[in-house]
Each structure stands twice: as C-alpha cells, then as structure tokens.
Amino acid sequence: MTAPLEDLERRVALVAELTRTDTDILGSHLEGPFLDLAHHGAHEPSLLRHPDPAAVERLLEAGEGTVRQVTLAPELPGGLDAIRRIVAAGAAAAVGHTNADGTMAAAAFDAGATILTHAFNAMRGIHHRDPGPVLAAAADHRVFLEGVADGVHLHPQVIRLLFDTAPGRVVLVTDAMAAAGSGDGDYDLGAVAVTVTDGVARTRATGSIAGSTLTQDQALRISVAAGAALPDAVLALTATPAQAIGCGEEFGRLAPGFAADAVLLDAELTVQHVWAD
C-alpha cells in the first residue's frame, strides 16, 4: 500500500529479508505510490507522488532484487521511463490506478509493462469510442490481466468477459486485506481506515472498495459459476500468475522440479486438503 517513501523502503527491505527464510514469500508488489490522484481508490491521496527516477531507484534498491511487481499510472510525468527502469531491474511493471486511455496504455505496454492491475477497477472503463486500458491489454498478447473475482470488484458477467477476451492471460488475485479469514469490523489498510460489512471492505471516509476478504478457493468457485471453464480458472490461479511475475519455472504446475505445493478440491470446489513444501 502507498506510504511515505521511507516506510516503503523499510517494508520492501523486510520482505527481502523474509524471502531468505520463508519459501512461500516471493517478494513485494508495490501498489503505489506512483498512482493517479483521481483513481486513488483506497490509497491515501496525500502520499501519492510522481515516479521520479530517484524514488523508483530507492525502492528497487531497498528490495535487493525481490520487488516482483510495481503498479503505476503511466501517464504521470516520468511514467514510461519508470516502466523501463522497473523492467530492467527484473520486476514486472503493471498499469493500474490510472487515467490512461487506450493509447497511453499501449505506450506503457510497448515500454515494457506486462500486467494490468485489477482490470476495470481504478481505471477508465470500456466505451465504444474510448476503449481504455482494458481492451488495450486484452489486444496485446504480451500482457496479463488481473481480476478480483469476488463478485464485488467485478460482476460475474465481467469475470466471464475477462476469460473470453484474454484466454490464457487472466491472473486471478485476491487483493485481500487483513480481514480475509476474519470477521466484519474495523481495520486499517495502510494509512486508511476501513470497515468490513458482510465481508465487503470499504474505506470509512469515502466508501471506496478497500481491497477484499477474498480467498482463492472462493475466486475459483465464483469464476466457474460465472462461466469460466474449470481448467481455465485453475490456470488463472496457478501457472499464469507465476508466469506473470517471472516465477513460471518454479511455481504453478504439478511437475518435477516445481515447488511441492498442492491443493485437493472436492466436486464442489471446496478445499479438502493442502500440502505445502
């Protein structure tokens, strides 16, 4: 989450340290602070900033090579150059929390961005004369499209639309915050106060969606119920996200040489057993 630059440096450094001892921690996703003010969502607006080279470099250096993904608004001053630097550092650059139109999104993808963060959320929608970043991403086979399949971030018909328009490139993510696996109530999401009611997290100040309480088994069931084929939905939870962040040779498949993690589901797609490591 967006925070003062000094705090973000400490956090990515902490994650870098944890990757050396915890095999299930792969690195950091910096969702901010280089976001569009008008599409700040649950991020604290006063902490947003332009992706100037010094700030980008500070965060990448603090991560010691463990920053996996950086989401930014490419239309900000320095945005395209920041994408090039992020990719050069071995991280995935992602477009999100943005006012980019389709042309600017395409320029970001040409600069090296390969992920659309939380498709449809905190960005322009699809209009018949202004297709926006979602269709720009769907048309570019280099790009993965994240979807939060909780029935709140995306209507079931839109979940189906993602799978139909970008086969093999859908990445199901939870965007989960601290309330996942817990009950309704008040929580903090970075610098923002959040209330969870009936499992839906919203900021107290504005009512914006503030992450989710989604777990990936729920995302699987919701996607299949929305019309996604089961093999496609499973792919979007396993091999595709691993590929999107550069871990496709280690994670996401049941095959020799890959991480020995597995989940057993029953016919209703509910979790029966988990094997880790």
- Taking only Cα atoms into account, the Rg of the chain, rounded to an integer number of angstroms, comes to 18
Exposed, middle or buried by CB within 10 Å (0-12, 13-18, 19+), for 49? middle
The burial of 207, by beta-carbon neighbours within 10 Å (0-12 exposed, 13-18 middle, 19 or more buried), is given as: exposed
**Rounded distance between C-alpha atoms, residue 77 and residue 253, angstroms:** 39
In terms of DSSP bridges, do strands 144-147 and 170-172 run parallel, antiparallel, or are they unpaired? parallel
The CA distances from residue 92 to 3, 28, 107, 113, in Å, are 20, 11, 16, 7
103 phi-psi bin (left φ>0, alpha ψ -120 to 50, beta other): alpha
Neighbouring C-beta atoms of residue 247, cutoff 10 Å:
17
Q: Degrees (nearest 5) of the Cα angle 59, 172, 184?
A: 85
* Residue of 36, 140, 150, 175 marked catalytic: 175
* 175 is a catalytic site residue: yes
Active site residues: 175
